[in-house]
Amino acid sequence: MYSVRQRLVAIFLFIPCACTLSSAHGSDNPRVTPLVRAVRHCMESVVNIHTEKTATEDKESRFFTPKSRRVSGMGTGIVVDERGYIVTNYHVIHDVDQITVTLKNGETLAARKVSFDHKHDMAIIRVEASENLTVMPLGTSSDVMLAEQVFAVGNAFGYEHTVTSGIVSAIGRDVEVDETQSYENLIQTDASINPGNSGGPLLNVNGQVIGINVAIRAGAQRIGFALPIDDARLTIARLLSTERLRGVSHGVFATDVKTPKEQKLIIDEVLEGSAAAICGLQDGDVLTNVHGIKIHDTADWERGLLDVPVGTVLDVSILRNGQKQTLPFTVGVGANIPNAVADAESARVPVKTVARSNSPEPTPQEPEIRNRVAAILGLRLASLRPQDRSIIGRRYKGGMRVTAADSGGLAARHGIRRGDILLGLDGYETLDDRNLQFILLDSRVKNLKTLSFQIFRQHHGALVGSIDLPGTRQ
């Protein structure tokens, strides 16, 4: 039996605790900081990745049969589409046999590889979840500020959904990891990033992803790096491309516009005869919605068309001259124009320079060689302007400006378009008409089945591809 005094003490001790518990989640609780709200906002979109692969121990293999052993790995991923598409780093899933994803609710799912980009160290994997996943709130890296508060979420050393905080230590870092992997334009942060954080988000205090954690400085403390999300989204768009994954093209070439005030996708060009042209899309249109997905950039446009059967009619919403319109887009109709442009494994190719002769051989007449380029490739070229040189930067010696890519021509069918800068053909620089004359000599091209090319595209960087030539030339 409690005495009256004991009961009163118990009651009074209990009441403050009850009040504390009831106010812990209140909106006016000073403990619920912007950082706490941001973590709650984004946590459902972060997944933990566990991998396994078979490694062979070849010690003393001259005398014994090599033994195999299972090696485990870990990483983090970000949900980019509610149907189970997840982005992570390529090095997280490279050369592994098994990928397992753990969601915030504890559900564990098998994952499969979808596509990857070694150069930019990014990959897409997919899980088949019982219900739609929560897509990570998208931010922009265009307004990242030095010393602003950020936090990282990831599978640090296997401790799932670990949250660390810090500030932006530097912007625009170039980091070389080894002979085969380097990164450009990274965000440096002192938020603790550990093995297992790779592929996870770097977020601002609004809970928006502004970067993808990718690397740490070995031997250093609190020096980590993240890919800016605006750069990463361009790669994600290519990895989710319906043409890349299914061979179905849409005919839209567009530019992501990312500013602190707006994120939008503006059409640069619509290929004649494509599904986009049949739909009625035009240059200058702002794509705003497709298949119920709000469009912020090219990645949203591509995922809106992903997995949609050929022949399906979708509503595409646009802004044209400030006016809202909705057009019917039929997936897979029209000319299936392949875009063979892919990321260059090295932005430093081509490396061959056309030899310069000391003989007084005259420079070919400009119309003659450029007409030949137009006849063979359907490509109209012009010399670079000062503003073009500022776009490509000092890494490249120069190139030639693409003023038009003829509809149905070889160049257009393989992804080259107006506004690109042609850096090289067949592994040779294309700095001027003399280069073109040498590269397209009959004796050189008559037996070629393909002609490799490298271009520079604003907002995308260096891209490479190859053009299938129509048989032997006479």
Neighbours of 233 (CB within 10 A): 25
Task: Mark whether 198 is an active-site residue.
Answer: yes
Note whether 45 and 79 are within 8 A (CB): yes
Q: What is the pLDDT of residues 404-424, one digit of tens each?
A: 998 888 898 888 998 899 998
| Fold match between domain 42-58+68-127 and domain 149-232 | yes
Class of domain 149-232: mainly beta
**Catalytic option among 198, 241, 249, 274:** 198
Torsion of CA 83, 89, 91, 97, to 10 degrees: -10
**Catalytic option among 45, 81, 91, 250:** 91
Higher-scoring residue by pLDDT: 346, 366: 366
Neighbours of 302 (CB within 10 A): 24
Mean confidence (pLDDT) of the chain: 83
What's the pLDDT at 307?
92
CATH architecture assigned to 42-58+68-127: Beta Barrel (2.40)
Tokens 């990831």 map to which residue?
Answer: 154
Task: Mark whether 45 is an active-site residue.
Answer: no
Local confidence band at 213 (pLDDT 50, 70, 90 cut-offs): very high
238 exposure class (CB count in 10 Å sphere: 0-12, 13-18, 19+): buried
Domain boundaries 249-330, corresponding CATH code:
2.30.42.10
- Which one, of 291, 214, 302, 204, lies nearest residue 256 by Cα? 302
Neighbours of 103 (CB within 10 A): 19
Element (H, E) at 458: none
Neighbours of 276 (CB within 10 A): 27
Residue 275 has pLDDT above 70, yes or no: yes
Residue 342 has pLDDT above 60, yes or no: no
Class of domain 342-468: mainly beta
Residue 146 has pLDDT above 50, yes or no: yes
Q: What is the pLDDT of residues 289-308, one digit of tens each?
A: 999 999 999 999 999 999 99
Local confidence band at 393 (pLDDT 50, 70, 90 cut-offs): confident
Strand partners, 116: 123
Task: Mark whether 25 is an active-site residue.
Answer: no
Local confidence band at 155 (pLDDT 50, 70, 90 cut-offs): very high
Q: What is the pLDDT of residues 113-141, one digit of tens each?
A: 999 988 889 999 999 999 999 999 999 99
Q: Where are the domains of the chain?
A: 42-58+68-127, 149-232, 249-330, 342-468
Local confidence band at 389 (pLDDT 50, 70, 90 cut-offs): confident
User: Cα-atom radius of gyration of the chain, to the nearest Å?
Assistant: 27
